A and B are shown apart, each in its own frame.
Chain A
Amino acid sequence: MASNKLMVGLEIGTSKICVVVGEGRPDGTIKILGVGQAPSRGVRKGEIVDFETAMKCVHEAVVDAEQKSDVMIRSVYVAVAGSHLQSFNNRGCVMLPEDRDEIDERDVEDVKINAREVSIPAQNAFLHSIIQHYHVEGQDGVLNPIGMLGQKVEADFHIIHGVRTRIQNSIRCVKELPLDVEDVVFGGLASAQVVLTQHQKDLGALVIDIGGGTTDYVLYSDGVVKQSGCLALGGDHITNDISMGLRIPMARAEKLKIEEGSCILGNSLPGEMILLKDESGFAGKEIEREMLNTIIHLRVREGLELLKRGLEEEPYLTYLGAGIFITGGCSLLNGIDHLAEEIFEIPAHLAHAQTTWGVTSAVEDPQFSTAIGLVRFAQVMQTDRPRRGFRETIGKLFRMR
């Protein structure tokens, strides 16, 4: 079983906790052995606010996954999210010593360290440094400079960093269970690994993972990550708006959003009402459908417009050949792809994990994109295939505790 190593992805989401157990095949595919999930409490906007409660929920989900996949889970890959995550592109540069002109691993390592030498706030830690392109002696677009001749190596990196202690909170929560944390991965980045194919990354694509508490996004252009980030805005906000606008309890609002909600306006008949049934099945309150949709529409539109404004600070949005891919729990919202298409003026698709097989119900559910993405991430890390986009992250930094 050495070649079929078990990999487990754990996403501590705002609305639910997902655990995906996967098995890497020698041919590079992943087989999903089982998924576990549990409703999440004690998490707001992607970050833990109630440690004890969150821990219990994680435990529940892990136990569920163990039962369904019939394996023992010892170590996991954890996804992190939260508005504290930030990213930027930076270029590192290294000159080779006079007496040597063949570039080797050391130089590549040096250039990576060099690229990290930028000031991030003192309390922040690097989460990912993702290589974009190397430049050797002015030659652009070098994919692997090792073995090439040149005096000057430069490398463009996309760097994601976040507040160290907040990232550590997720790790602590898992370690208390006790489970080992193999690595921490930005949720959006994990989703993108399974939502997009390499071809789509090359063409240029934007993955928007709208979850319960956060909206993570990753923009690929030329096959590499150019922009990424996390907005603390998600399905919870829609539910909250509905609950406040229609004056119904949160649980009812959530149900209404899932069953009846849509973010397309003008699709309902004038005066069309939705009858809310209470628990006993008796007719309760009546709600105008258009009003429900207006509330949802305004919120989703605002979020997407905000995202667009943020992305427009750099020019990559115009180079998206493959379009926009929306995943995460909120992508199930009726009409969200049409709204995104209208706002971004780029074709938008609903997406879920690709290139995996096994428990298809899980694979096809966009809510599991991140957790499956973690498994994919783990696979890439473990086979240590020198694949563009990933290098070892500095998980050690967090594992020290």
Chain B
Amino acid sequence: MNLSNLANALNQRKKQKQKFKVTRKRNYTDKSIDVPKGLYEQCPCCKETVNMKQTLENKFVCKHCGEHFKVRAIDRINLTVDPGTFVEKGLGYITLNPLFNEGYEEKINAYKEKTNIDEAYIYGYGELNGNPCVIGVMDSYFLMGSMGSVVGEKVTRSFEYAIYKKLPIIIFTASGGARMQEGIFSLMQMAKTSAAVLRHSDLGLLYISVLTHPTTGGVTASFASLGDIIFAEPNALIGFAGPRVIEQTINQTLPEGFQRAEFLEEKGFVDRVIPRSELKLTLSRVLRIHRRYN
């Protein structure tokens, strides 16, 4: 009895020693500090390390230079909508592969797991400082927020939901354009969403589109630039053709600040550039002015 106990104790001691050795070894070889992933990130503008926990309180804006980071769709809703009022609509869409593109389904599934949403656009009912509206958000982390059949359908559905409820609609766009993998179907989504805007607009309802970084391609050329009121976030890239494509066609480097939100405001395609800290207040004020009591 005693002997076996002793043997056990010895074995345990041995294991502990080995563990110690291993940890010591690791400490010596691996010099990097063990930090949870995503806690610290480098600001793309000023190259300063930023504590993401602190930026969350600061609405994902860099403390040092005021750079507006990209925001996930769910975070955007949390930032914008009054807590506890958001009800997501239009769930259960399944993306298919119309052109039988190799690896497209796997890609979609990987992004689904990574971002925890089922497509690049979510919408639902929400209130902004007590003003009811339909709110739709595109997520640029999901395959660059590209517009395929499902995104087009959900955008259209969000307009139809707004028509049904007679509510104004706010859409935050962040997209690389139409989804190439779905071919002609993606192209048709442009016409489909534009027609949805028309139907919504016919009933005298308000549509505010907020252009965030980046909004390019087929989304700019459809519902994003059809808002009654168009706001933009500072330094957001907004344009039809991407900067690289333009550089290739004209064989020149583009001037600084080209296709940015401030540039578009100067050219008259954006109503106002609003920093993120004032966005919710401005939106709710606009909604209040357009509110209809009937």
User: Does A pair with B?
Assistant: no
